[in-house]
Amino acid sequence: MAETENIPSGEQQPQPVAQAPAPEAKRDFRDQRGGQRGRGGRPGGRRPSDDKGGDDLAEKVVFINRSSKVVKGGRRFKFSALVVVGDKKGRVGMALGKAAEVADAIKRGGELARAKMQSVSLKDATIPHEIYSTYGGAKILLRPASPGTGIIAGKTVRAVLESAGVKDILTKSLGSKNAANVVKATLNGLLSLRTREQIYQGRGLEIKKVAAPKAPEAVAA
């Protein structure tokens, strides 16, 4: 039977001693510094941005591939980004950038593509003539189109044409759908284009201007 303690009615019962509040948990200020830091001391969770480098170049990411290497401690991932860069005025280039992070791979690809830019022969907003180009298993057919037609092409071919400045064109992709081969086939086709002036200049000929025919004179009645 539990023992009970009798307290006289005139006396006040002892009040419980108030306990000191628990110390506040240390706040993690990592979120205020920009999030946790990943490999190499760089902020994690960084999203790639459209870095144009202060110029008017258009940069388009066509394809991003991830590769993994199995090591003793697990897997190591690396990324490769296929980037197309152009000024939309007849100059375009492409490159494949590789890095351990997606943003770094895109940045590297853009830098290499800027260094490999080449001039393309255009006629107004379309191409001067039809061209058929191949690279590996990819086959690309490019045809000039009338003003207002637009770019009739898939997303891979469209990225190259828009960067080069083509606005009206008809295309057809045949064979392989590999993004790298399709981009290279399209770029080779654009680099193979020649205008009428370039062909005459290569042959050492001069373009003769043909005078417009005169309107027939009205016959007096």
pTM, whole model, 2 decimals? 0.67
Residue 43: per-residue pLDDT: 38
Q: Are residues 108 and 153 in the same domain?
A: no
Query: Which has the closest alpha carbon to 136: 177, 82, 93?
Result: 177
Amino acid at 163: S
Residue 138 and residue 173 in one domain: yes
Task: Say if residue 93 is in the same domain as residue 139.
Answer: no
pLDDT tens string 142-201: 999 999 999 999 999 999 999 999 999 999 999 999 999 999 999 999 999 998 888 888
- The answer as to whether 95 is a domain residue is yes
Average pLDDT over residues 24-44: 42
Q: How many Å separate Cα 120 from the centre of its chain? A: 20
Mean pLDDT of the chain: 79
Among 32-36, 40-44, 48-52, 127-131, the range of highest mean pLDDT: 127-131
Residue 182 lies in domain: 131-203
Q: 112-148, pLDDT tens digit by residue?
A: 999 999 999 999 899 999 999 999 999 999 999 999 9
Among 23-27, 79-83, 199-203, the range scoring the smallest mean pLDDT is: 23-27
Angle at CA of residue 203, ends 199 and 209, nearest 5° = 65
Banded pLDDT at 41 (limits 50, 70, 90): very low
CA quadruple 113, 118, 124, 129: dihedral sign:
negative
The domain that holds 85 is classified in CATH as: 3.30.160.20
**How many domains in the chain?**
2
State which of 75, 98, 119 marks the end of a domain. 119
